[in-house]
């Protein structure tokens, strides 16, 4: 049993104190960076500077209209067309939006860090952020309204955590191991995992709550004229579900 719980090639970043006591360092750093950016925007930068930040780092679907893209006259040019697929995740529309994302990142992102290690966690988060922007672009192509927020990355972290935290012996399982081995319980394939009523209930509840964003504007506090799109959440969540087995260092349960 122990050789399944502690695979010999698990990442070195998983060494350290139990996650129930301390947050992983990468979670603390990300929270500090996002909070610092928001503090600067709220209390230090001028309105003009904040507008420039939005133009350069928020994700704008209008950038990808053929005539706009070809003109090269938008802020940041073709480089911003690329980096904004990720950088929008570091900006937030208000304190409520920021704190909600950080709360869920601490809860579910931490579990993924303890299992994946820092490098794999950052890769997962980055890809989920890109997936969120891509799905939003597909559904809002050409719109001149930006999106911001870490919600796509956090959604992907929640999806990845859902793949293992409800298994027997895992952190939220009916029976939990009382040490860090709880975070290394082998996960079943996705379709088998969805037969677990707790996993299926979590996934259905998540989609139900997020679809409310489509019908109840302003459910999360934000700045006027800034859209925090539920489609980006869905893109990140689906990416987290599908990318999990590609990044999971623990052998799959047969």
Q: At 116, which CATH number?
A: 1.20.1540.10
The parent domain of residue 193 ranges over: 23-247
pLDDT of residue 67: 83
pLDDT of residue 45: 94
Does residue 17 lie within any of the structural domains?
no
Angstrom distances, CA of residue 25 to CA of 31, 86, 106, 108, 158:
10, 21, 11, 14, 18
pLDDT of residue 170: 78
Does residue 214 lie within any of the structural domains?
yes
Portion of the chain with pLDDT greater than 70, in percent: 82
Taking only the tens place, the pLDDT of each residue in 135-144 is: 999 999 999 9
pLDDT under 70 in the chain at which residues? Answer: 1-21, 70-72, 174-175, 178, 213-214, 216-228, 253-254
Does residue 3 lie within any of the structural domains?
no
Supply the pTM of this predicted model. Answer: 0.84
Does residue 89 lie within any of the structural domains?
yes
Question: What are the structure tokens assigned to 63, written together?
Answer: 């950038």
Question: What are the structure tokens assigned to 101, written together?
Answer: 């994302």
Does residue 80 lie within any of the structural domains?
yes
Domain count, the chain: 1
Does residue 1 lie within any of the structural domains?
no
pLDDT of residue 240: 97
Does residue 85 lie within any of the structural domains?
yes
Question: What are the backbone dihedrals phi and psi of residue 132, each rounded to the nearest 5 degrees, phi first?
Answer: -65, -45
pLDDT of residue 13: 44
Does residue 213 lie within any of the structural domains?
yes
């Amino acid at each position: 049993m122990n050789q399944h719980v502690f695979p010999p090639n698990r990442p070195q970043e998983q060494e350290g104190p139990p996650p129930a006591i301390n947050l992983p360092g990468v979670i603390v750093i990300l929270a500090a960076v996002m909070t610092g950016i928001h503090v600067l925007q709220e209390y230090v930068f001028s309105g003009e500077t904040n507008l420039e930040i939005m133009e350069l780092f928020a994700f704008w679907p209008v950038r990808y209209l053929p005539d706009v893209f070809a003109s090269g006259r938008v802020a940041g040019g073709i480089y911003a067309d690329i980096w904004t697929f990720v950088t929008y995740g570091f900006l937030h529309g208000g304190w409520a939006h920021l704190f909600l994302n950080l709360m869920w990142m601490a809860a579910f992102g931490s579990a993924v860090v303890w299992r994946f290690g820092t490098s794999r966690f950052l890769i997962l988060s980055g890809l989920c952020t890109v997936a969120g922007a891509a799905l939003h672009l597909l559904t809002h192509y050409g719109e001149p309204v930006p999106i911001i927020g870490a919600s796509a990355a956090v959604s992907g972290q929640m999806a990845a955590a859902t793949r293992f935290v409800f298994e027997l012996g895992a952190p939220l399982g009916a029976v939990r191991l009382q040490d860090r081995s709880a975070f290394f319980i082998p996960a079943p394939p996705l379709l088998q995992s969805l037969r677990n009523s707790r996993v299926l209930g979590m996934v259905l509840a998540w989609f139900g709550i997020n679809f409310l964003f489509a019908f109840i504007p302003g459910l999360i506090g934000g700045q006027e004229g800034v859209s925090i799109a539920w489609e980006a959440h869905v893109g990140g969540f689906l990416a987290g579900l599908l990318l999990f087995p590609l990044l999971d260092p623990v052998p799959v349960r047969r």
